[in-house]
Amino acid sequence: MLRKFNSFIEKWMALVTPTCLLLGVCFPDIAKCGLPYVPAVFAFMTFAGALKSRFKDVANVFRHPGSLLIIMLLVHVVIPTAACGAGHLFFGNNMELITGMVLEFAVPTAVVSLMWVTIYDGNSPLSLSLVVLDTVLAPFLIPATLKILLGSAVTIDPARMMRELIFMVALPAVVAMVLNQITDGKVMETWPGKLAPFSKLALIFVVTSNSSKVAPYIRDMNMQRVKVALAILVLAASGYALGWFVAYIFRKDRSTAVSMMYGTGMRNISAGAVIAAAYFPGEVMFPVMIGTLFQQVLAALFGKLLAQKKEKQEFC
């Protein structure tokens, strides 16, 4: 029964995620009740995503870091620079909107990308290594990116951010790999399949809860905000496409291409929202939070494209 549920959700993920977003936006007072539990649910998703990795697999990624370095370059140089350029091109007189656009694409890779990589048989050790490295460097990379591109001086509490990231990323990942180590890989052969349906439920919970944050902005939409939303949509879609394209150019295998696509396309919007709320005027929050409406939908659509391409290759 759980297996059928998991297959059903994976098949219709492109519809499930926008439905969750719609529920969160339409019923924010109910959806926001789940916000206090999002970090714990994220930790579970990290644990489930890391079950296919072992310490030696992660160590191997760092011994041959080519793909990892390419993703980091795309995530923290190419895409934020493109966001900055697009912001100046279309909203040149509004530095708050430009700052929000750059911040949206300066934050680290999303933890939830591990789940999507698992669904589409990506390179789990590569994705896990990326998430851990990117989140550890986030307190330093985000201010540096904003300073270089915008001249904005941002002071982030690295101790607080690290505590949150250790709980959501590092600790559950280490626990999963320790289990694989002490059971000689037996856990990675059985647990991922059993936990897969619960990972989908966790994603539904996180998307619905987080989308409640963007409800006030959707209800007060104007033409300028519509333009900002379209710009964020195009930039976000470009992130997925760029990861996929670069993997093809460098002739990476399919599993690595999946990880590169989701690594460059998905961002930790929650971290961006916290920084926007703490250090910038309210208008900066809109470009950051509007990405919540697109990220999971784009993840599902690009995953569907990957699956269709794989089916065609197998058929041929």
Q: Using one digit for the tens of pLDDT, what is the confidence trace for 18-38?
A: 788 789 889 999 999 998 888
Q: Which has more confidence, 70 or 289?
A: 70
Per-residue pLDDT at 277: 65
Q: Which has more confidence, 289 or 59?
A: 59
pLDDT in tens, 70-99: 999 999 999 999 999 999 999 988 888 999
Q: Which has more confidence, 222 or 67?
A: 67
The model's pTM is 0.79
On whether the CB atoms of residues 161 and 138 are closer than 8 A, the answer is yes
Q: Mean of the pLDDT values across residues 172-201?
A: 87
pLDDT in tens, 205-226: 887 887 787 788 777 788 888 9
Residue 316 pLDDT class (50, 70, 90 cuts): very low
Q: Mean of the pLDDT values across residues 103-114?
A: 87
DSSP 267: B
Q: What are phi and psi of 233, to 5 degrees?
A: -60, -45
Domains of the chain as residue ranges with CATH: 19-197+211-315 (1.20.1530.20)
DSSP 74: I
Mean per-residue pLDDT over the chain, rounded: 85
Question: What tokens were used for 18?
Answer: 């926008």
